[in-house]
A and B are shown apart, each in its own frame.
Chain A
């Protein structure tokens, strides 16, 4: 068991990016995943941690040019209760508010939820529905080098992202859905709290003249990464939200996910749950119309 020899608390993004350029320093935000992994010996402790929570620029929710921009170190409880988010994107507030329990939500950050790259990351699916863009920073020749990517390019596999060494996820940005957008998200677990999702699903759609003109579908816990439902979206697009389309969309969703069997649930059951939850959302959208 290694031991951490230094705890670093950079105050600015510049400090942080130069610190994490060092080989043996890892980024530390809420710590709610890292600490138990270290304690149980699932991951050896790093030599140094750089705690990002003291960097003011990485915290909070703001509106910039009509877009909502969320600092990566904003806690899940702050997101769940933020007035802007609750009003403009309630699905994100709900997903953040249903992670674990109050103690964890007060510490865990949205950036950590994403960088941890669990297929079950509850905030990822709503962000997929929103076409969120992730902003990253690293130490560059002239200070900070910035990069951005769509969320669907962020996840590589369980526990793995496309961030390069020394890169820090700084912000998540998205346009609030226009009025008239139906959006829903739900997760399935065997308890009503303290659950790591067995399956989660979200859908966002807009209709114009009886036809679906915009559709986003996302899934959690049913593939190596949180997943966008391209096939389910294609079924919805340009069609009315009819029972037949709902059936076809559910079938497409069940087809395009790749769930596994583990101690929490079997693959077939996860597929069932994606179908059941998605069907309910689409039927609610239909009755809301």
Chain B
């Protein structure tokens, strides 16, 4: 039983205002700011001082408010993000973050801005190195930190540096919005702490949900005793599997919201509680007694396939729920035609999404039994459809509202058990229930990137022509199936179609174990495949004695080709990407340095322990969705008010990536109205038309095309109306800067507002301008042999990494990455740079530090302390290039780029490590321990003395 705590009085100053309140002695400053003062701009990111999202100033010093007891602040001055904005004006730091594109999902932003404030107070003109050190305690998962550092640098120079803005007001008359640097429309709210994320939303009489996880990898449930929890004051609902109808869900139909007979991984959900406070809910969950009978644990695919292995799901006696086979050409012929053949096995780890905002949901039934969900889903319409079945409610009775999402990256593509659990709690309690994960729960109970073992064999002729690829992949599916099991759909496209190769065969086994499971994550199986393939392309280059750049160029496709898997490369900038990135990185000069291991005297007469190297990798990915569902379309509704205000209702979701701004640009450009006139509504299934969801790098292409079509329709109506009013031919007119203008002279003839009002209040007919569009891309669902043009266009790119390897410690330091991407056409330069920079940071983490370790079915490092994201101090110099191939089907020629930048990073770095050291790394991440072990093994093999 929680003790009744006498609250203590606390008087302190918050944002200049003297306040008094009552707090529990154990309450943190973070809790008190959020709960007692509704200062929700201060965010919970981890609760242990490892992320900086809760940073505030306490008596002028930057602190993590989660690491301060509220009572410590008696008599102190606290400054939060809400205290920076004075008289409604953005503080100059907030302004700089907005203008420099330093904000994506925005969850880390308030903490990052407070850290900047503290830094600039102590040091008004910091160098870049000082900025990196000053912000080293603030994690960001979206931006890769580059734009944050740029924002602070602009302030360090007296704040005078003009951001390269393209506000309507600052552009030259008639200048296009397409390709400009446009700050995200939602950035000012995010910079000021006004944005409400899931944990900032409080409904009246809302309860707090908490889940009991099995915390054992494989066991029979003998009994669950919830009596103590139910008897606890403040507990309003306790549920176990016997309280609900168990409807199977998930890609493998092998998951249920709660588990009745057996748990198959540590994160299996066993019971749940809704209570008046989060503390009571947590205490009640601790009081639930579950009796288990432990079963033998299957910890790896090898064990799962061994004779006599325990069967995890009775309906799959061989523990192998899925196979995939793909082939084109004849691999045996390819082998015969090869002059060189290389073969290796690549091991890829679990990467956690680490959205700075943890997962959460609010479920609320109205008196009619209609359900409103505040959900972070990336796929609101499919979610509504799939959830309906699980919770036994018709889909039309479910409304999905998405609050601002603190990072997605694929993690919110699936229905996770906590979501129906929250609905069941709300139904039982008859009150709204909010369920938000702690950081530890986020690590333990959300799926990861799919771990893979890839065995790849490939060959080439003497002249470098690729001959074949033979792929075997083994996926550790864990105990349940989420989207991770389907990532081979995308892996195989890289094996079949990154460079020309006539003969490819791929076999994939997906295997149940008692480990945690995997879902969608930016790249969707492609980073794994690209690591294996692009490592092996380098191995072939070594065998052939060819420059890896030349080998890749030789095998690159040209625009107009159709790959053997049936993918039509309407545009293809692969060769330009290779050449651009190589040129930018100084490939010729640096690769020609001999020997590759570039030892230089460092100290005294000893040889330097540092070797530098350069490596490259390319990528192939869908550039406008992947038609795996019956429709890959998106709907748009546009309505204009009487004054030229535009409301765009789009089915596509904003998860921090900037789709809202891209869509607004496309519409504003078409209608000749200021960007500031556009409001995008994109988060409510009652209002917005259908869309398949945010995934497969599809939003700019598909939602952009949909918005463009609806905008063109509105434009036509405006021009027709104007032509009638002005007695001109519509062809003679244009819409520019809020006016109808004469196309030939650019002379303004009438304001657009006047045209709209004339139509609305006219004497002869009365109409509003409201248009709709549903865009379905011309892609096809692949057939059973996985053949078909799955996407309307394809993205390409090349990264060149320059690294320094410490030969005595195994530390790989990335010095620079040159990234060139075929993006079709840049719509928002600021946004697309942010996507690439953020993708590179995720790719660097995947390559160097990130690894959610699992042993005996248990997660070993569920915290930011031991699951290591890159910090400001780890990021290298970045040089970005955009290859514009103007895809004929793309909006203004654009293709998707959301996932691409993450994909080739690990392979490029591993190839650079090889160039530096002669050591081929085949397992990620490249921890110093792993690199040093390989270095020592290779030195041993060469008979050189080992260091140290």
**Taking beta carbons and an 8 Å cutoff, which residues of A are in contact with B?**
1-7, 9, 28, 30-32, 35-36, 38-40, 45, 49, 51, 53, 77, 100-104, 106-107, 188, 190-194, 196, 250, 263-266, 269, 272-273, 275-277, 279-280, 283-284, 286-287
Contact = CB atoms under 8 A, between A and B. Distances in A.
B816 interface: no
Given A1-B282, A32-B67, A104-B64, A190 B871 contact: no
A52 B25 CA distance: 16
B67 A3 contact: no
Contacts of B38: none
Contact of B115 (A38, A102, A107, A191): A102
Nearest to B56: A103
Contacts of A7: 8, 25, 69, 71-72
B49 A102 contact: no
11 contacts: A5-B25, A30-B67, A36-B67, A51-B69, A103-B55, A103-B137, A191-B874, A194-B50, A263-B853, A280-B603, A287-B604
A193 B64 contact: no
B813 to A, nearest CB: 9
Nearest to B870: A191
Interface in B1-16: 2-3, 5-6, 8
Interface string B581-615: 00000000000000000000001101001000000
B118 interface: yes
Contacts of A36: 47-49, 66-67
B948 A279 contact: yes
A192 B137 contact: no
B464 interface: no
A39 B44 CA distance: 13
Contacts of B62: 102-103, 106
Given A39-B48, A266-B929, A100 B137 contact: yes
Interface stretch (B356-364, B452-460, B860-868): B860-868
Contacts of B282: 1
Contacts of B61: 77, 106
B134 interface: yes
Contact of B67 (A4, A107, A265): A107
Nearest to A278: B948
B63 interface: yes
Given A102-B62, A104-B67, A263-B853, A194 B871 contact: yes
Contact of A53 (B28, B72, B864): B72
A264 B928 CA distance: 11
Interface in B817-850: 848-849
A51 B69 CA distance: 10
Nearest to A46: B26
B766 interface: no
A269 B811 CA distance: 12
Contacts of B948: 250, 272, 275-276, 279
Which of B871, B927, B929 has the largest count of A CB atoms less than 10 A from its CB?
B929
Contacts of B52: 101, 103
Please provide the 9 A-B residue pairs with the shortest distance between their CB atoms, ordered closest to farther.
A101-B137, A193-B136, A36-B48, A192-B873, A4-B26, A4-B25, A7-B71, A276-B808, A269-B929
Contacts of A32: 49, 64, 67
Interface string B56-83: 0000011110111101101000000000
Interface string B769-813: 000000000000000000000000000000000000000110100
A177 B5 CA distance: 51
Decide if the interface of chain A is mainly helix, strand, loop or mixed.
Answer: mixed
B25 A196 contact: no
A55 B258 CA distance: 52
Interface in B27-58: 28, 47-50, 52, 55
B283 interface: yes
Nearest to B853: A263
A269 B861 CA distance: 19
A152 to B, nearest CB: 27
Contacts of B138: 101
Contact of A276 (B5, B25, B134, B947): B947
Contacts of A77: 61
B48 A40 contact: yes
A107 B67 CA distance: 8
Interface size class of B (residues with CB under 8 A): 35 or more
Contacts of B157: none
A250 to B, nearest CB: 8
A272 to B, nearest CB: 5
Contacts of B860: 263
Nearest to A36: B48
Which of A30, A188, A273, A276 has the largest count of B CB atoms less than 10 A from its CB?
A276
Contacts of B928: 188, 190, 269
A194 to B, nearest CB: 6
Which of A4, A6, A49, A286 has the largest count of B CB atoms less than 10 A from its CB?
A4
A9 B6 CA distance: 17
B24 interface: yes
A101 B51 CA distance: 10
Interface string B260-300: 00000000000000000001001100100000000000000
B476 to A, nearest CB: 19
A53 B74 CA distance: 12
B80 to A, nearest CB: 14
A263 B282 CA distance: 27
A103 B63 contact: yes
A3 B136 contact: no
B47 A101 contact: no
B128 interface: no
A31 B138 CA distance: 19
A207 B136 CA distance: 38
Given A49-B69, A101-B138, A194-B871, 9 more contacts: A3-B24, A5-B6, A9-B74, A35-B49, A38-B26, A107-B64, A264-B866, A277-B809, A283-B604
B3 A263 contact: no
A3 B865 contact: no
Contacts of A275: 948
Contacts of A9: 71-72, 74
Contacts of A100: 49, 137
Given A36-B67, A39-B47, A102-B136, A284 B603 contact: yes
Contacts of A4: 24-26
B861 A192 contact: no
Contacts of B55: 103
A272 B8 contact: no
Contacts of B929: 265-266, 269
Contacts of B118: 102
Contacts of A3: 2-3, 5, 24-26
B849 A51 contact: no
Nearest to B936: A272
Nearest to A265: B929
Which of B47, B809, B870 has the largest count of A CB atoms less than 10 A from its CB?
B809
Contacts of B28: 35
B871 A191 contact: yes
Nearest to B806: A276
A108 B8 CA distance: 24
B3 A5 contact: yes
B872 interface: yes
Nearest to B859: A263
B441 to A, nearest CB: 11
A275 to B, nearest CB: 5
Contacts of A284: 603
B137 A263 contact: no
Contacts of A103: 49, 52, 55, 62-64, 67, 115, 137
Contacts of A35: 28, 48-49, 66-69
Contacts of B873: 191-193
B5 A31 contact: no
